[in-house]
């Protein structure tokens, strides 16, 4: 078994499903600390609070809008006063700008930070408060998602469309509530109420699906999402431990609770900030065509770091054996999304099927048997070559400066 596949097997089979804030996620974190230390890295564990699933926050918003619709029968203005703030908070939550999840957070999760200090050559040096000129953070989440009906292979290709239908339902109900609260439109109250009913009915269906997810669906083994990304990160760490790249600070961050709402990344940003850092996020690398996400965001489009994308293209041109596409990723948030939203420099490296979907995404078939070792080897080589290119640019800058 290839060394990278051994990491995938350890996480997805021996440890198994690793839901956010669960004991198995904590077991995976302990194993990661041991792996980094065995390679000669220093490692720290940063604990934070999280919810166990994004379903709870979604149910709060959808249930709240439905409650506002119900209150409107007492007085339309009451519905407006409840629905408008909820709609704004929902948009902020989707954009990772603000979340109500901390108010529901009852579980503990953790990020693993690893770095290597070598004062003799200073080729890899990361401390909590001190950074060299070019600091690279390689990030991958190690938790796995709970399956859900809307991630069924026959339904998941319509995920983006169904998201916008949910968003349209929330906005439409709120819009009709506003119209019903206007005294001049009182004669139209009944038609406006009936116009809201189909959207409210759809939200009820979505609520039932979320409840079904939490009551009956299991956590996935998470081989592709995201033991594959963790395996590649560990492979790059092993290569840098043996063959460091002078001039680069490289830090590795394994994030917890990404599947609950990118809470590991958000905690990292809170603790360490974004200034002076460039992030390479590794996610869903085990099957399909490798690609660098030129933009992320399911609602608003957030471009990836142009310098990183340029370096990725240069690597691909210089090494045709490393085929990688440049394409947008416009599904659920990755750990790069909160960074890009806040103006940071990041790019996600992922893999997708020909139709752009993520293979076995959030489904029980996300097993190690569906992870292709060649994909992992190519991804590891790609990331290492990107770091080499980054180091070359650093030295060229130093020479001309």
pLDDT, one tens digit per residue, over 35-60 is 999 999 999 999 999 999 999 999 99
* Residue 281 predicted with pLDDT over 50: yes
Interacting residues of 25 by C-beta distance below 8 A, sequence separation 6+: 18, 19, 109, 142, 143, 256, 257
pLDDT in tens, 250-269: 999 999 999 999 999 999 99
What is the domain extent for residue 369? 3-51+109-146+220-400
pLDDT, averaged across the chain: 92
The pLDDT value given to residue 399? 47
Assign 321 a pLDDT band (cuts: 50, 70, 90): confident
Q: Say whether both 142 and 60 belong to one domain.
A: no
The residue from 193, 216, 239 where one domain ends is 216
Q: Say whether both 308 and 339 belong to one domain.
A: yes
Q: What is the pTM of this model?
A: 0.92
Mean of the pLDDT values across residues 287-293?
96
Mean of the pLDDT values across residues 91-103?
92
Query: 344: how many CB neighbours lie within 10 A of its CB?
Result: 19
* Residue 120 predicted with pLDDT over 50: no
What is the CA angle 236-42-44, rounded to 5? 105
Q: Structurally, how many domains does the chain consist of?
A: 2
Q: Say whether both 198 and 321 belong to one domain.
A: no
Please give the share of the chain, as a percent, with pLDDT higher than 90: 82
Q: Tell me whether residue 103 is in a domain.
A: no
Q: Say whether both 168 and 311 belong to one domain.
A: no
Q: Say whether both 139 and 191 belong to one domain.
A: no
159-180 and 189-216 helices, crossing angle to 10°: 140
* C-beta of residue 247 within 8 angstroms of C-beta of residue 135: no
What is the CA angle 340-153-21, rounded to 5? 55
- Helix, strand counts (H, E) of the chain: 11, 10
Q: Say whether both 36 and 64 belong to one domain.
A: no
Q: Say whether both 44 and 30 belong to one domain.
A: yes
Measured distance CA(351)–CA(324) in Å, rounded: 9
Q: Tell me whether residue 104 is in a domain.
A: no
The residue from 216, 241, 258 where one domain ends is 216
Q: Say whether both 261 and 211 belong to one domain.
A: no
Strands 107-115 and 42-50: antiparallel
Measured distance CA(17)–CA(8) in Å, rounded: 12
* Residue 323 predicted with pLDDT over 90: no
The pLDDT value given to residue 30? 98
The residue from 169, 190, 216 where one domain ends is 216
């Amino acid at each position: 078994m290839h060394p990278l596949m051994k990491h995938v097997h350890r996480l997805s089979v021996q440890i198994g499903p690793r839901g956010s804030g669960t004991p198995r996620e904590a077991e995976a974190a302990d194993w990661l600390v041991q792996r980094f230390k065995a390679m000669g890295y220093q490692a720290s564990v940063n604990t934070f609070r999280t919810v166990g699933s994004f379903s709870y926050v979604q149910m709060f918003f959808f249930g709240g809008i439905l409650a506002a619709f119900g209150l409107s029968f007492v007085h339309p203005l009451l519905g407006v006063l409840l629905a408008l703030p909820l709609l704004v908070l929902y948009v902020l939550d989707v954009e990772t700008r603000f979340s109500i999840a901390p108010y529901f957070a009852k579980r503990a999760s953790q990020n693993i930070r690893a770095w290597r200090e070598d004062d003799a050559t200073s080729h890899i040096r990361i401390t909590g408060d001190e950074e060299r000129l070019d600091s690279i953070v390689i990030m991958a989440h190690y938790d796995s998602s709970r399956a859900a009906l809307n991630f069924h292979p026959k339904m998941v290709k319509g995920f983006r469309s169904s998201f916008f239908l949910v968003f349209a339902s929330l906005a439409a109900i709120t819009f009709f509530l506003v119209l019903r609260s206007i005294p001049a439109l009182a004669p139209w109250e009944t038609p406006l109420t009936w116009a809201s009913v189909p959207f409210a009915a759809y939200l009820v269906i979505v609520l039932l699906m979320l409840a079904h997810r939490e009551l009956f669906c299991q956590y996935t083994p998470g081989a592709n999402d995201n033991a594959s990304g963790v395996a590649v990160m560990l492979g790059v760490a092993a290569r840098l431990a043996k063959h460091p790249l002078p001039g680069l600070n490289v830090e590795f961050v394994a994030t917890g609770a990404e599947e609950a709402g990118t809470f590991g990344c958000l905690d990292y940003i809170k603790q360490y900030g974004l200034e002076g850092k460039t992030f390479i996020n590794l996610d869903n690398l085990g099957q399909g065509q490798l690609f660098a996400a030129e933009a992320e965001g399911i609602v608003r489009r957030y471009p990836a770091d142009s310098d990183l994308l340029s370096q990725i293209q240069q690597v691909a041109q210089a090494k045709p054996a490393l085929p990688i596409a440049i394409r947008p990723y416009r599904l659920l948030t990755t750990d790069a999304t909160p960074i890009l939203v806040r103006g940071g420099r990041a790019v996600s490296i992922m893999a997708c099927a020909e139709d752009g979907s993520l293979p076995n995404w959030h489904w029980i078939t996300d097993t190690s048997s569906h992870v292709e070792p060649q994909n992992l080897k190519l991804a590891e080589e790609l990331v290492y070559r990107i770091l080499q290119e980054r180091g070359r640019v650093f030295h060229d800058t130093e020479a001309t400066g």
